[in-house]
Amino acid sequence: MVPGEEEGKKGLVKKAELSPVSLDSIIFAVPGSTASISALIDAARAGVDVVLMDNWRPVARLVPARYGFFLRLWHAQLRTYMSKKRRASIAAEVAGAKIWNQRINLIYMSKLSVKDKYSLRRLADEVGKIVDSLSSITTAEEAMQAEAEAARLYWRGVRLLVPSELGFKTRLKRFSLPPGSSPDPFNAALNIGYGMLQKEVWRAIFAVGLDPFIGFLHKPRPGRMSLVFDLMEEFRPLIDREMLSLARRKPNIIARLQNEKNEEAVNEVLRIALNTLNEHRQDIFKQTRRLATSLLNETEYNGFKLSY
């Protein structure tokens, strides 16, 4: 079933018969969606990514039986986590790549606004200093602190360009919201985009054979896919840039996301996020394989960095 496509006057989604080999992903994002066991078996055999989402957050996926063959890589991943020096090195590189990409976004944004050009360039310079400081960190916790400091500066710059009617003040994570409250529309758009990014990074981690729960920048804890969140960091600025572009071009679309319920607005955000991720899917897989190689061979890891 293809979400968002109307059939007649009832607003029903269209149905189509598709061969498993013609599918890339099956995403269950609508409550009440169903699939037969035989269809899921066919999807698994064809290597189709099957993901269940709740409020645009991936919560479960179909795991192929072959996933258990990666024990050697899991051991290397755990050894690296247990080494304070190696963990700090990878954490610094992940944080550094994200902060670098945020700086590139700030430079890009400075070209969009004559009024805010110099403010954005100053923020980009400050963020650049944080990138340079990462060469001297000795723990993953220090890398996380640097990432948080850069984020504070970065979102200050983003706020300058988000249309004021959208009510964006700063980045609000889901868990930081008071119970029962909703994010502003721009944060809602980011949440949807990040949810699709999480799905894509999680998929790459499974395909390469890494353990999604053993991360380096984000401290592992029960139920937390720390490695997924690690690798997401390097690619979040891609989503940021596209959501900012949409907010400036079509603020009325973003405004309809106040409760993340408007179908037209959600579909537009999904379309843009998926197009962006399709363009960078090979980059995501490349980075995941690069990390796996670094863990197995105990070599340096190099993060994903945008060019000017």
Contact 168, 162 (CB under 8 A): yes
Low-confidence ranges of the chain (pLDDT < 50): 1-13, 21
Q: How far apart, in Å, are the Cα atoms of 159 and each of 11, 152, 187, 260?
A: 36, 11, 11, 20
Distance of CA 188 to the CA centre of its chain: 14
* Cβ atoms 53, 31 nearer than 8 A: no
The single residue listed with the structure tokens 């863990």 is 295
- Whether 161 contacts 109, CB under 8 Å: yes
pLDDT value of residue 24:
62
DSSP SS3 for 304: coil
Residue 231 near residue 284 (C-beta atoms within 8 A): yes
DSSP state, residue 51? E
DSSP per-residue letters across 218-274: SPP-TT--HHHHHHHHHHHHHHHHHHHHHHHH-HHHHHTTTTS--HHHHHHHHHHHH
Which residue has tokens 């990514």? 49
Tokens 């948080």 correspond to 148
pLDDT of 33: 72
CA 20 to chain centre: 26
Alpha helices in the chain (DSSP H): 37-45, 71-82, 84-110, 117-133, 140-161, 185-208, 226-249, 251-255, 263-279, 281-297
Residue 191 corresponds to which tokens in the numbers above? 């949440």
Among 130, 186, 183, which residue's Cα sits nearest to residue 153? Answer: 130
Q: Is the pTM of this model over 0.75?
A: yes
Position 71 scores a pLDDT of 86
Long-range contacts of 204-208 (CB under 8 A, 24+ apart): 204/231, 204/284, 204/285, 204/287, 204/288, 205/231, 205/288, 206/61, 206/63, 206/64, 206/67, 207/285, 207/288, 208/73, 208/285, 208/288, 208/289, 208/291, 208/292
Given CA atoms 161, 164, 169, 170 in this order, what sign does their dihedral have?
A: negative
- Is 218 labeled as ligand-binding? yes
State the pLDDT at residue 17.
Answer: 66
CATH fold for the domain made of 68-297 = Four Helix Bundle (Hemerythrin (Met), subunit A) (1.20.120)
* pLDDT at residue number 1: 33
Tell me what pLDDT residue 237 has: 98
Task: Give the Cα separation of 204 and 220 in Å (integer).
Answer: 19
Domain positions in the chain:
1-54, 68-297
Cα-Cα-Cα-Cα torsion 257, 262, 266, 268, nearest 10 degrees, comes to: -100
pLDDT of 66: 62
pLDDT at 177: 79
